[in-house]
Amino acid sequence: MQNEELAKQLIEFILTSQDVVREPRVYANQVTYAFSDKLVEPEDETLFPPMRLHVVRLQPSFVQKNQKLLNQLFEQTKDTNPQGYQDVWLTSSHLTDRGLYLVEYSFE
């Protein structure tokens, strides 16, 4: 992801907004969120492409710098690995047919 500040703001929004819904867990190492596309207006469609997935590996330097925030997301997974995670993948999309933004974090 080119804009680390945007990535950090997205995590903070997810953790603090009461309008964000955590979706049911499908995999032990991931957590998915959805929120209305009327809540925020992204600067461009790169992060939330309409009806397509955008997948990016967060840079190791970003993961290290934002460990406390990412740990709050990781704690919402069912991952029991005592080693935690090293890599974080962000998947996002604009579900235009539902009026939702979808954000998923996968921890490897």
The tens digit of pLDDT for each residue in 28-72 reads 999 999 999 999 887 768 899 999 999 999 999 999 999 999 999
Q: Is residue 38 part of a domain?
A: yes
pLDDT score recorded for residue 82: 80
Q: For residue 1, what are the β-bridge partners?
A: none
Closest CA to 10 of 78, 105, 74, 108: 105
Average pLDDT, the chain: 93
* Number of domain units in the chain: 1
Greater confidence (81 vs 38) lies with 38
Residues 6+ apart with CB under 8 A from 9: none
Confidence of residue 2 (pLDDT cuts 50, 70, 90): low
pLDDT score recorded for residue 58: 97
For 102, the 3-state DSSP assignment is strand
For 33, the 3-state DSSP assignment is strand
Count other Cβ atoms within 10 Å, centred on residue 30. Answer: 20
Token pair belonging to 81: 């690995």
Q: Is residue 79 part of a domain?
A: no
Whole-number Å distance between alpha carbons of 61 and 93: 24
Domain that holds residue 22: 4-74+84-107
pLDDT at residue 1 is higher than 70: no
pLDDT score recorded for residue 97: 98
Q: Is residue 26 part of a domain?
A: yes
pLDDT score recorded for residue 10: 94
Cα dihedral value 83, 84, 87, 90, nearest 10 = 160
